[in-house]
Chains A and B, each alone.
Chain A
Amino acid sequence: MNTAITHNGQQDHAGDHGYQPSGFLRWLTTTNHKDIGTMYMTFSLVMFFLGGLMILLVRAELFQPGLQFFKPEFFNQLIGNHALIMIFGALMPAATGFANWQIPLMIGAPDMALPRLNNWGFWLLPPAAMMLTLPFVLELFGVGDGALATGWTFYAPLSVQGGIGVDFAIFAVHILGISSIMGSINIIVTIFNMRAPGMTMMKLPLFVWGWLITAFLLVITLPVLAGAVTMLLTDRHFGTHFFNAAGGGDPILFQHLFWFFGHPEVYILLLPVWGLMPHVLSTFSRKPTYGYKAQVYSFIAIGVLSLVVWAHHFFTAGLPVPALLYFMYSTMSISLPLAVLFFCWIATMWRGAMTFETPMLFAVGFIVLFGIAGLTGLVLADVAADAQYHHSYFVVAHFHYALFTGGIMGVMTGVYYWLPKWTGHMYNEKLGKLHFWLTALSFNLTFMPQFFLGLAGMPRRIPDYALQFAEFNALSTIGAFILGFSQLLFAWNIWRCIHGGEKVPAKVWEGAEGLEWQLSSPPPHHSWETQPTVH
């Protein structure tokens, strides 16, 4: 790892700390928010490729009807672990990486409030990822029957029936949950206590606001997930019957508990990106953010609403009519604060002086494609139509429009936007643009056909399918491989940017506003030694 993006001890604080480990020990023991941010981002990128590899295996199997490469048992392990790794391994750590790097810079703080907790929060992740993937390896040595094969949702009783992969996944989720809760507490404490003088809550950068809501959602919902999987564990091994009807339990209880976490989780993944968007749009439109207050209130409204709409994830499970109606209308009402955000994003661009560097391209691509996710979400809320969409590829396409474009492309927007600040070097613009166009086009080639597959009646999570689905699946697989391999450009561009390239000034972008652009690129070791005053 090059020192450029991290800490150069000699330069600014020689002697401040006494002992300064180097090499691996330095990364293991670091309490610097930027080092930890870098580790989160690196971990996220590695997991992104691991999760991507898994789904490329899946898409290869689905290229043609018939069982080509894998047994269904292995196929089922791939899909669930793809989801867990992408959500808990790639997206959440990427967002936490941004938070670590950016929140102190943006609010004028020297570091995060709880640096040692911060270190521990990160170093829980690699063991958790190993827990999740270890059963794949164990199976090769004849131990157990592979990783979690229930899909990422752990639905009981299938997960009660499953092998040791379920236990490994339960403990992995516990560890990941602890890590996220610690990270969230750190972020909340930092935002409440470490702001520069004069930075009132209503002057907080929107990215920080987005993360604040995210952190609260994590603290509220993750314990419920931990409780649900613990109940599952005791059902599996200690003779309880939480989810077993024969013992007075109810399998649907698991779905309620899981989705009480699972739905806010969607917004946990998206809110940091929604917070980031106004910064990018305003920078490249050279115009102040439109509707700051409206966006803050929308974040809060979405955060609250996300806690009360969970049952729309299992409309087909047979809920009573009043519950169906309540969850339908409450879900639809999320479209209102979301529309406020779209309105503000476009209004921020309106009558600006726009240029389209890579971050702006990703931001615009995000708005358009995420728009498709939002709009299809609106029809999915409708119970009767949902009876057709549910459990089908229509849903798969919908949530990939939400989580790939809303999540991953949002993260890419942020990486291109802030990477020059972090490394002190400009990335390769041509490569960045190529990466954007390949990603956006192949993403649509992958997932647009999946909408039609779902409408035509193809269920999700099947390793083999009827002949009428063959053409769209072939298209989707071709798209997925282009999409997957295009991401190598991303990794290469980041690598090159870390190791050299054109030097950038403190204010990397012409139209950028905010405290982080007042610090040198890369920023000094203790980001703000003297807190700035905000007027």
Chain B
Amino acid sequence: MSLSDLILSLADNKQMLGLRYAEWATRAPSLEADIAAAAMGLDDLGHSRVLYGCLEPLGADPRGLDRESDAASLHALTYFDEPWSEWAQFVAANAILDTAFTAMIEACVGGSVEVLQHRLRKMLMEERYHFLHGRSWLKSGISQEPLNRAWVEAIEWFGPPDGDVATLHREGKLSMGPDELHSRLEEQLATRSPSMTIDWKSWDPIRRRSRPGAIDERTFSMLRGLEEKKFAPSSAAAKEN
């Protein structure tokens, strides 16, 4: 897979992370946490726009027409397929997945590709606050299930030891490969990942995940603007038609 495929996956995941964060903007445990959820959602949606904008300068935009009709054409992780029903899912995504994406951004900024070096640097400053938020909530103690799931999906997302990320690292385009990214994530969170066995044979290198499935229909409609049309006045809808 190319660097463009990796950046598209990062963009799709940031977009979904931002949307899922935003869904908690009125459901978090405190007013401050509500505001933080909204702010982090805005940040990550903004990051996804920047990342999509990097695809053209990278020379190959892997986005096909199927993204308008097939939710499974988006390259986001299983973790984002459904809205989160528990705060623990929010915290696990915030602490582990958001930090994993930041580690990849660090690898891009530290790599040799100029457009990524320049455009992604500011994200690291904003992500510092996401990290502090996630780490602090993690300390408060949450259930293990979403944490384990987030860890597995993060390591899967980094890719196999001999996969595309390893190749991009060897070529100097990324400053870290899968092993270094894994270590960086553990170092940041000051903990070891749970023991896991990943069956790379069932791993989809485009979507960077092992399980089939896709984001829920309502979210997919919202991404395409279809949910918005439901609220449009009928006369306006008639004019459009």
| A and B are interacting partners | no
Query: Chain A residues in contact with chain B, CB under 8 A?
Result: none
Query: Chain B residues in contact with chain A, CB under 8 A?
Result: none
